[in-house]
Structure 1
Amino acid sequence: MIPQDGIELPGTVRQNLSLFGIGSENEDMKRARARVGLWKTLDKRGGLSGELSDVGLSGGQKQLFSLARALVSPAAKRKSGIVLLDEPDSSVDKKTEAEMRRIVADEFAAFTTITLSGQVIGSDSVLPVFIRTNEGKKQLKYSGKRFP
């Protein structure tokens, strides 16, 4: 999952990228942070051994970090599955948004990708679903139309 609001846990960059050591190698982490454009930012603050809280990532950088985390996850190595993106580019500029979409398309080509978004640019297929809250009760609206 690549969330809208990047999650920063206490600990090092390495621990945060690998979710505390689950299945990632240093080379994978170096490749991922370079792929998403955070190499220089993270290296200035101690690289993989630096405390993530000391880096001071912006909202957009947190989204890029979440993408890097997904790239080093054990699921990414399986080369199939589901990737859930929750407004993954809401805090980045258009250029970074386009690069994030390229990375997801390249790295997760064999995955089913579900994107929760207010915009549908770059999608192969769109299934409009609307969720509305009415006095605390969720109402699901499905248009019944699929847009290729």
Structure 2
Amino acid sequence: MLELSLISVERIRKYSQLPAEAPELVQNCSLSRSWPEQGMVEFKNYSTRYREGLDLVLRNLSFRVLPKQKVGIVGRTGAGKSSLTLALFRIIEAAGGQILIDGEDISQYGLYDVRSKLSIIPQDPVLFAGTVRENLDPFNSHSDQEIWRALEHAHLADVVHAKDEALEFVVMQGGDNFSVGQRQLVCLARALLKRAKVLVLDEATASIDNSTDSIIQESIRKEFKDCTVLTIAHRLNTIIDSDMILVIDGGKVAEYDTPGNLLADKTSLFAHLVEKAYNINSVNS
């Protein structure tokens, strides 16, 4: 028993020695309340790795996303798509280069300043033990009317209205009393409520059914038309109508152009990925 208990002590000691993240706030260096106003995102010769001593997972990435553009991000498994999202939210820090949002180098500011101004709908929806209201508005900064409007646009209002407690309905840890699709719609409602100028979808529709996928895509096209949207794609049909397609291969920018131009070039990696997906779907049909 003593030997087993000492494992806990060992783990606590190890965690206490982990390198800390960057500070949440940087004194005398804060972003304006309205930042970002436009939503322009630029990677300039950006490189990163998961830990010191490991190989780079992103290598000299350089591309620019203009305000209000919708960009689909594709690539083979392990190409570095999700690493790009982690870099944008500074879960992993730069090994070289910069990420600029509206011309501001995000590495110069506190983590809270940066992360609180961006929205994400992740592949695995995150719900906390608490009420529906607390899950959507944890800082209690929105009115009931705004919350119901977000639920309406996320096609969840009827589900919440059906609960006797409505917004006070208690969500179990991990959202176990909601279906997977409903959990993802809660994350969509959370993003709708926040109204950030930059939205990231990290394979948000990979594990849900086609009908819920259609709801999310429709809501994003309608409600985020004035926002910059970066979509990491699992289903290529969800990003085929994007303004631009970014193809990542081996942690580098392989292609960055409009879907029409890339599909017209039969030698492009994107055209190959679309053809492969089409052939797989044809076989499954």
Q: TM-score range by the shorter chain?
A: 0.7 to 0.9
Aligned to 2:201: 85
Q: What amino acid is aligned across from residue 27 of structure 1 in structure 2?
A: Q
Deviation at 1:105, TM superposition (A): 1.4
The equivalent of 2:147 in structure 1 is 29
Give SS of 1:57's match: coil
Please give the per-residue CA displacement for 1:66-112, whole angstroms capped at 9, x wherever unaligned. Answer: 00011111xx1xxx621111112223332332221121111111111
Matched, 1:65 2:186: yes
CA distance in 2, matches of 1:13, 1:126: 35
Q: CA deviation at 1:41?
A: 2.1
Please, which moves more after superposition, 27-36 or 49-58? Answer: 49-58
The whole-number CA distance in structure 2 between the counterparts of 1:97 and 1:20 is: 28
Question: Which has the larger Rg?
Answer: 2
2:125 maps to amino acid: G
Q: CA offsets per residue over residues 9-60 of structure 1, 9 Å max, x none?
A: 1211000011241x22111111111222222322333210111128711111
* Cα deviation, residue 127, structure 1: 0.8
1:128 is matched with which residue: 230, 242, 247?
247
2:235 corresponds to 1:116: no
The amino acid that maps onto 2:187 is: S
Determine if the alignment matches structure 1 residue 51 to structure 2 residue 170: yes
Taking structure 1 as the reference length, the TM-score comes to 0.79
Which ranges in structure 1 are unaligned for 5 or more consecutive residues?
131-138
Q: Percent identity between the aligned chains?
A: 31
User: What count of residue pairs does the alignment treat as equivalent?
Assistant: 134
- Aligned equivalents of 1:7, 1:25: Cα separation in 2: 22
Deviant stretches of 4+, over 6 Å: none
RMSD (Å), alpha carbons: 2.0
Segments of 5+ residues of structure 2 without an aligned counterpart are 1-119, 260-285
Q: Does 1:140 align with 2:254?
A: no
Contact 2:154–2:186 at 8 Å: present in 1 too? Answer: yes
Distance 1:126 1:144, change over 3 A: closer
SS in structure 1 at match of 2:199: strand
